[in-house]
């Protein structure tokens, strides 16, 4: 099943506080985006794509920086569950997940996107199509040829990773690709290669649930905290527009591999890859957003009762220069970048 890519735009200036899921007008409520290897029969329940998207989205973020809200997670969080948005309002990470009046939604949508959203749609690619991202490309093909990387070797399996030092912290410059031996005997799978193809881990690393990510870094390394991600963004000169949204992520993106002309300059050798994610909902699971999104875990849990199900991550998108540090469901599979213990 394939669903077009979507976006979420929060526009408090027009509604006081509202969260909007921009969907295909031919099928209202269905988020746009590529969803692959999906199980389940509910055609409307896939993965909700996030963040202010494209030029229009950037303009909204610039005019109302305090109101930009992002959520990356399961379809049920926004529009995929057949019960609708309001039923899952508690599951979203919006700062104010207000119920949406359809008439108000239509009027605001027309103001934001007078020509519709086709102009900011991002093409998705099947594994063998002609496009920017291919898992069969070597990981070295996306490295910055002008940057002097360091190296570290994972003593558990001998894999050698590039590293980079930013603001006094040593980061892995590649996504971790360590098979979770400890959890292998479990009946519940907690780490994946995209499309469940082992060769895809070679180029993009593994995708881990938050619980596994907590313990998966090699000795002497750890999962970064929310504060680590924010410090990293400050060090590369990104501008904080509010507690969630940052501007200036291109300095962290790899120089190739991103769709929608979303490649970065990789000035600091961080080489973030659009490895996508593994999502799980009550009715479906699958893989989505390869080529367009990088999602990397933080060790920091959400505040209060939400900590049971949500943890922070850092998110980069192919359609803009934004970085998001916000919460996502712990059961989803995201990439891991380890930082060296100080």
pLDDT digits (tens, 9 = 90+) for 287-321: 999 999 999 999 999 999 999 999 999 999 999 99
Q: How far is CA 189 from CA 38, 133, 299, in A?
A: 16, 26, 20
Arithmetic mean of pLDDT over the chain: 72
Any idea which of 53-67, 150-164, 324-338 has the lowest mean pLDDT? Answer: 53-67
Domain that holds residue 76: 7-120
144, 109: one domain: no
Q: Closest Cα partner for 173 from 60, 61, 285, 294?
A: 294
Final residue belonging to a domain, choices 90, 120, 150: 120
The answer on 263 and 114 residing in a single domain is no
277 plus 333 within the same structural domain: yes
Model pLDDT, residue 136:
77
Residues 76 and 188 in one domain: no
Cα separation of 37 and 337, whole Å?
Answer: 25
Interval 113-132 mean pLDDT? 40
Least confident piece of the model among 43-47, 113-117, 153-157, 235-239: 43-47
Residue 129 domain flag: no
If asked whether residues 116 and 156 sit together in one domain, one would say: no
Residues 203 and 169 in one domain: yes
Task: Judge if 101 and 147 occupy the same domain.
Answer: no
Provide the pLDDT for residue 132: 62
- Average confidence (pLDDT) over 36-45: 35
- 150 and 44 share one domain: no
Instruction: Judge if 112 and 177 occupy the same domain.
Output: no
CA atoms within 13 A on the CB side of 264: 32
Contact 89, 306 (CB under 8 A): no
My answer on whether 266 and 189 are in the same domain is: yes
What is the CA angle 180-182-185, rounded to 5? 95
Whether residue 163 is predicted with pLDDT greater than 90 in this model: the reply is yes
- Quick one: average pLDDT of 209-218? 96
Is 128 part of any domain? no
Q: Which has more confidence, 114 or 209?
A: 209
**Could you tell me which of 35, 57, 58 has the C-alpha nearest to residue 45?**
35
Task: Report which of residues 130 and 212 the model is more confident about.
Answer: 212
How many folded domains does the chain comprise? 2
Give the range with max mean pLDDT: 42-51, 68-77, 130-139, 184-193: 184-193
End-to-end CA distance of the chain: 45
The whole-number pLDDT of residue 141 equals 87
């Amino acid at each position: 099943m394939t669903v077009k890519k979507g976006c979420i735009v929060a526009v408090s200036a027009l509604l006081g506080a509202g969260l909007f899921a921009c969907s295909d007008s031919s099928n209202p409520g269905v988020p746009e985006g590529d969803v692959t290897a999906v199980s389940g029969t509910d055609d409307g329940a896939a993965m909700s794509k996030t963040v202010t998207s494209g030029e229009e989205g950037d303009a909204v973020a610039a005019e109302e920086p305090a109101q930009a809200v992002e959520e990356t997670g399961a379809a049920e969080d926004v529009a995929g569950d057949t019960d609708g948005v309001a039923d899952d309002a508690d599951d979203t990470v919006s700062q104010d997940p207000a119920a949406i009046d359809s008439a108000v939604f239509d009027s605001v949508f027309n103001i934001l996107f007078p020509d519709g959203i086709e102009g900011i749609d991002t093409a998705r690619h099947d594994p063998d199509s002609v496009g920017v991202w291919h898992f069969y490309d070597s990981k070295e093909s996306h490295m910055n040829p002008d940057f002097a990387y360091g190296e570290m070797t994972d003593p558990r399996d001998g894999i050698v990773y590039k590293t980079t030092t930013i603001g006094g912290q040593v980061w892995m410059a590649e996504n971790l690709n360590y098979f979770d031996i400890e959890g292998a005997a479990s009946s519940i799978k907690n780490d994946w290669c995209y499309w469940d193809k082992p060769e895809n881990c070679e180029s993009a690393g593994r995708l881990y649930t938050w619980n596994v990510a907590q313990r998966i870094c090699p000795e002497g390394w750890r999962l970064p905290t929310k504060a680590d991600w924010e410090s990293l963004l400050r060090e590369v000169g990104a501008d904080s527009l509010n507690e969630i949204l940052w501007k200036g992520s291109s300095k962290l993106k790899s120089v190739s591999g991103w769709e929608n002309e979303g490649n970065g300059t990789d000035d600091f050798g961080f080489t973030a890859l659009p490895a996508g994610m593994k999502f799980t909902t009550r009715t479906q699971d699958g893989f989505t957003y390869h080529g367009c999104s990088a999602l990397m875990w933080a060790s920091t849990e959400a505040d209060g009762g939400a900590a049971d199900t949500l943890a922070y991550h850092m998110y980069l998108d192919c359609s803009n220069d934004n970085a998001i540090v916000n919460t996502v469901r712990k059961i989803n599979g995201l990439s891991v970048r380890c930082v060296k213990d100080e």
